[in-house]
C-alpha cells in the first residue's frame, strides 16, 4: 500500500499547535500551500489563497531558516480566526526551501492580526525553545500532537 503524501494529526480546538507529517514533500511552495490548506480545512481561515500569499510574501523578503535545515516561516494576517503554529516534519524526504536550500522541518507561525498579549507570550515561549538545535532534532519523527506539546512545553 502506498504511503500517504501528508498525514494530518488532529488537534483539540484550544491548542495553538498542529502537526503534519510530510512523507514526500517537494518544495517550499507546496508546504506553504499545505499550511494554508490545513488552516482552511480546519475552519480557521476563509481565504486559503490570501493566507498563502501572506506566507509567501514573508519568505520573499528574507530567508526564514533559523538553522541550515530548519525553517520558521511566519506572518501576521487578517485571514485567520486564531493564531496557529504548524510543525511540518519533512525528515523522511528532505524538501527544497525558498532559496534552493533544503529543510528537514518547517514550523509555521501564523499570527492572527490583533492577537492577544497572552497568546503572543505563549507563542514566544514555543519559539524560544526552537532556538535550541537539540530541541529541533528531537522534533523529527514525532507522530502525535501530545509528543509535540510535551517537547515544547
pTM confidence score: 0.88
| Ramachandran assignment for 141, one of left (phi > 0), alpha (psi -120 to 50 degrees), beta (any other) | left
**Band of the pLDDT at 3, cuts 50, 70, 90?**
low
Instruction: For residue range 38-73, list pLDDT tens digits in order.
Output: 899 888 898 999 999 999 887 777 778 888 889 899
Which is it for strands 6-9 and 17-22: parallel, antiparallel or unpaired?
antiparallel
Cβ proximity of 110 and 75 under 8 Å = yes
Q: What is the mean pLDDT of residues 1-24?
A: 73
Do 43 and 79 form a contact (C-beta atoms < 8 A)?
no
Report yes or no: 126 and 139 within 8 Å, Cβ to Cβ: no
**Between 10 and 16, the higher pLDDT residue:** 16
pLDDT at position 64 is: 80
pLDDT at 2 exceeding the cut of 70: no
- CA 133 to chain centroid, in Å, comes to 17
Amino acid at each position: 500500500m502506498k504511503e500517504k503524501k501528508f498525514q494530518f494529526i488532529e488537534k483539540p480546538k484550544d491548542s495553538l499547535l498542529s502537526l503534519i507529517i510530510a512523507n514526500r514533500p517537494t518544495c517550499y511552495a507546496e508546504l506553504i500551500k499545505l499550511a494554508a490548506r490545513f488552516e482552511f480545512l480546519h475552519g480557521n481561515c476563509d481565504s486559503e489563497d490570501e493566507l498563502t500569499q501572506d506566507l509567501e510574501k514573508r519568505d520573499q523578503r528574507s530567508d526564514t531558516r533559523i538553522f541550515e535545515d530548519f525553517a520558521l516561516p511566519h506572518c501576521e494576517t487578517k485571514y485567520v480566526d486564531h493564531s496557529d503554529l504548524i510543525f511540518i516534519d519533512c525528515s523522511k524526504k528532505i524538501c527544497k526551501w525558498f532559496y534552493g536550500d533544503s529543510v528537514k522541518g518547517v514550523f509555521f507561525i501564523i499570527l492572527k492580526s490583533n492577537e492577544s498579549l497572552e497568546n503572543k507570550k505563549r507563542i514566544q515561549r514555543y519559539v524560544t525553545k526552537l532556538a535550541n538545535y537539540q530541541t529541533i532534532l528531537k522534533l523529527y519523527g514525532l507522530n502525535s500532537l501530545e509528543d509535540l506539546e510535551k517537547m515544547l512545553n
